[in-house]
Amino acid sequence: MLKMENIAKVYRTDVVETHALKEFSLEVNEGDFVAVTGPSGSGKTTFLNIAGLLETYSAGRYFLDGNDVSGISDAARSRVRNEKIGFIFQGFNLIPDLSLFDNVDVPLRYRGFSSKERKQRIEQSLDTVGLSNRMRHLPAQLSGGQQQRVAIARALAGSPRFLLADEPTGNLDSKMANSVMTLLQEINQQGTTIVMVTHDPGLAAQAKRNIHVRDGQVSELHEVNTEHTRDVVNG
């Protein structure tokens, strides 16, 4: 599904060179739910941005769905993001002037779906996150947990194969965080591959797989509860 080989990312400013990622290698399989932990500044967001084609990398190779995405144009990267990837951000990143309906509609319009199909997808994904009765509301009228649910609905509406979440619960209290986590687990069980950065070891423990990033490298790989989760799913 996702395969990174010796990815390096260097940020250059006039003063310093930051090696945000170095020899970063990782493989994520279809259907996985990977939790990424690591200290602040270790390169988690950088990894997620590269995985989601938000940023390019300085060296190494990256295969998404078996395709090398190194040299593709900006427009092609936009299309891949739009079709294959769903993003969930720590700050929700909803558009404040748009209703929930219009917010979820944003990526669907870029996709070029017919208005009928968009409407159906919007209603369905808002239903999935339990907010179908508030489609005409503005984001500001919702709690943080609800806003993040809208963001998840927006990420899901285009049926992406791949969901990337950067500290999706970072701005939420633990109750809301848990409900968002449960929602992500449900989504994962429907077959969507998820990579989630989190600070919370408790949440990380609920993922199928944990990786730890330190100094721009995958320092520790351990599979948590894998057997158990698989048992639960299979059982």
Partner 1 sequence: MNASLELGPIFRTLLRNKMGALLIALQIAVTMTIVVNAIFIIDEREALMARVSGVDEADSFYVNSNGFASDFDNPNTIQEDLRQIRALPSVRNVTTINAIPISGGGWSMSLQTEAGEGKDDVATAVYMVDHHGLEALDVQLLAGQNFTEQELRYRDGSEEGWPQNIIITQALANDLFPDTAIDEVIGKTTYINNDEPMQIIGVIDALQAPWIGWEQLENTMLSPEYFAFNNSTTYFVRAQDGMRDQAMRAVEEYLAQRANERLVRGMESFENVRNESYGFHAAMIKILTIVMATLVLITGMGIVGLASFNVNKRKKQIGTRRALGATQWQIVRYFMLENFMITSIGVLTGAALSIGLNILLVNFFELNRISWYYIPIGMLCLWVLGQLAVLGPAKKAANIPPAMATRTV
| Interface residues toward Mg ion, by CB under 5 A | 45
Task: Retrieve residue 46's tokens.
Answer: 């950088």
The residue within the footprint of ligand ADP, chosen from 2, 4, 7, 20 (CB under 6 A), is 20
Our finding on whether 109 is near partner 1 (CB under 8 A) is: yes
Q: What angle do CA 27, 34, 228 make, to 5 degrees?
A: 110
Our finding on whether 230 is near partner 1 (CB under 8 A) is: no
Task: Retrieve residue 111's tokens.
Answer: 């996709």
Number of amino acids touching ligand ADP (CB under 6 A): 12
For 2, 91, 123, 167, the CA distances from 29, given in Å and listed in that order, are 7, 27, 30, 21
159 close to 128: Cβ distance less than 8 angstroms: no
Our finding on whether 166 is near partner 1 (CB under 8 A) is: yes
SS3 (DSSP) at 54 = coil
Our finding on whether 107 is near ligand ADP (CB under 6 A) is: no
Stretch that binds partner 1, among 34-42, 111-119, 172-180, 213-221 (CB under 8 A): 111-119
Size of the chain in residues = 235
For 21, 116, 181, the CA distances from 49, given in Å and listed in that order, are 11, 32, 21
The residue within the footprint of ligand ADP, chosen from 29, 30, 41, 186 (CB under 6 A), is 41
Beta carbon of residue 132, minimum distance to ligand ADP (angstroms, whole number): 33
Binding mask 59-98 for partner 1 (x = CB under 8 A): ---------------xx--xx-xxx---x-xxx-x-x-xx
Please give the Cα distance from 99 to 37 (Å, whole number): 33
Stretch that binds partner 1, among 28-36, 100-108, 176-184, 203-211 (CB under 8 A): 100-108
Residue 11: Cβ within 10 Å count: 13
Beta carbon of residue 170, minimum distance to partner 1 (angstroms, whole number): 9
Cβ neighbors of 133 (< 8 A, separation 6 or more) are none
The residue within the footprint of partner 1, chosen from 7, 37, 105, 163 (CB under 8 A), is 105
Residue 117 CA to its chain's centroid (Å): 24
Our finding on whether 91 is near ligand ADP (CB under 6 A) is: no
Q: Which residues bind partner 1 (CB under 8 A)?
A: 45, 48-49, 52-55, 74-75, 78-79, 81-83, 87, 89-91, 93, 95, 97-99, 102, 105-107, 109-113, 115, 118, 154, 158, 166
